[in-house]
Amino acid sequence: MSGMLTAAAAQVNSKGTFQVALGLTGGAHATEFTYSFRLAGIPLSGTNTDAAATVAYPIEVQGGISDRFSLGITLEPGRYIDSAGTRPNGFFVASLSPRFYAVNGEHFALHLNADVGVGVLRIGEVNSGMRIYDDTYAGGHFRLGVQAQYFFGRVIGVHLGMKYAAHTLRWRDREPEDPLLTNTDYTATLRTSGLLFQLGLQARF
């Protein structure tokens, strides 16, 4: 029995091990914004493509299922970087996050991970320093990545990782309400795809 406990303690992840992490994530994304509406009964639509950067602060909790697998959740508040300061915004992402540990040593581990979940983006419009309106978008996302972990001792460590991320967010509403959008059957979708780079601190129990 003592030999089994020693072997489990000598691995970053094992059955019954819990990990908690706080991180900082920077992202670079290609964006596609599509919209449609009806004007005098005539359907009109358009597409705009651009690029965007994000910064976020993921909070991760993982529970070991076996030596090779763990499952957890990720909660991630953040924002799109707007250097002009005219589009104040914020987003929140929640994900179910399975991991597969390709390397699972005493201090070092390397795992493949995925995030599947939902997110909400709230983005505003400012004119002459005054907030004009806020639009809310919501939808799903998928992420696939790799992360390296290093523990200095039994409890505290650091991590560094990279993910491919794809998000699809659909326009939900505007505040204050704009009757023109309702009367013209306005719809819009924001799709993003890009890379996320993450570093942070972690603890295991």
CATH number of residue 135's parent domain: 2.40.160.20
Kindly indicate the confidence band of residue 46, based on its pLDDT and cuts at 50, 70 and 90. Answer: very high
142-196 per-position pLDDT tens digit:
999 999 999 999 999 999 999 999 999 999 999 998 888 888 999 999 999 999 9
How far, in Å, are 113, 116, 133, 181, 186 from residue 35 at the CA level?
33, 25, 18, 11, 7
C-alpha 182/C-alpha 184 separation (Å) is 6
User: What are residue 11's phi and psi, to 5 degrees?
Assistant: -125, 145
- The answer to whether 56 and 28 are in contact (CB under 8 A) is no
Query: What is the rounded average pLDDT of the residues 91-112?
Result: 98
Indicate whether 5 pLDDT > 50.
Answer: no
- pLDDT at 97 exceeding the cut of 60: yes
* CB 144 within 8 Å of CB 116: no
pTM score of the predicted model: 0.89
Going by pLDDT thresholds of 50, 70 and 90, the confidence category of residue 2 is very low
**Token representation of residue 69:** 């697998």
State the burial class of residue 84 (Cβ atoms within 10 Å of its Cβ: 0-12, 13-18, 19+): exposed
Tokens of 127: 């004119």
pLDDT at 9 over 60: no
Q: Mean pLDDT, to the nearest integer, of 98-110?
A: 97
pLDDT at position 105 is: 96
User: Token match 């939900």: residue?
Assistant: 172
14/81 Cα distance (integer angstroms): 38
Please tell me the total count of domains within the chain.
Answer: 1
Range of the domain at 57: 2-204
The C-alpha R_g of the chain, in whole angstroms, comes to 21
